[in-house]
A and B are shown apart, each in its own frame.
Chain A
């Protein structure tokens, strides 16, 4: 069965610093990868997705992620974070042929002034 590992449960950073949130998935022939963001007391909102093509994917709010097939990773990055980026971030994978999303346990990003 497909699984997703988010290596850091909490990541504290200072405002305007760069950040990387790490995500690894179990290997599969074809996968589609997603990052979602959850602000406090809200639902999940899509940040970006990798379906095929270029391995560098750009999303909303200045986030980007790089798909690395050999390392089965899909790390999320932002060069300069803002206070408003404080939220929980979830990596998710959908295996080709299935509609089910499998989620990691989430990474809580806290941006401090």
Chain B
């Protein structure tokens, strides 16, 4: 079955360190997204990509970067982690094309990141 997987599921890092969260999907979806989930804020969009070599900033992109070198993967990098980036991170994917632009997004299981 097609799926979307995130790794690691849990991570603890020190302030100032760099960390990369992996997201891999096997649906061949062109769209991929990174959200963070925080109590009282719901899900907020960090970065998104509509295809290979395309990346765009979301509403909370400061301190994060992404790159899209193939269809399947959209890794999220925190260049210098801060305590404010302690959160649960979700990757999602969807497909565009004619009427299918209206399909839903499929989500990974999440990565719980703690910055100490």
Contact = CB atoms under 8 A, between A and B. Distances in A.
B42 A106 contact: yes
Contact of A105 (B40, B45, B101, B110): B40
A14 interface: no
A51 B41 CA distance: 25
Interface of A: 6, 9, 32, 34, 36, 41-46, 49, 51, 90, 94, 99-106
A99 B90 contact: no
Contacts of A6: 42
Given A42-B109, A43-B90, A100-B45, 16 more contacts: A6-B42, A32-B102, A43-B108, A44-B43, A49-B104, A99-B50, A100-B48, A100-B58, A101-B33, A101-B105, A103-B35, A103-B44, A105-B40, A105-B41, A105-B42, A106-B42
Interface in B75-91: 90
B96 interface: yes
Interface residues of B, number: 24
A32 B96 CA distance: 14
A51 B102 contact: yes
A76 B109 CA distance: 24
Given A32-B102, A44-B107, A99 B40 contact: no
Contacts of B108: 43
A39 to B, nearest CB: 11
21 contacts: A34-B104, A41-B110, A42-B110, A43-B90, A43-B107, A43-B109, A44-B43, A44-B90, A44-B92, A46-B104, A90-B42, A99-B96, A99-B101, A100-B48, A102-B45, A103-B35, A103-B42, A103-B43, A103-B44, A105-B40, A105-B41
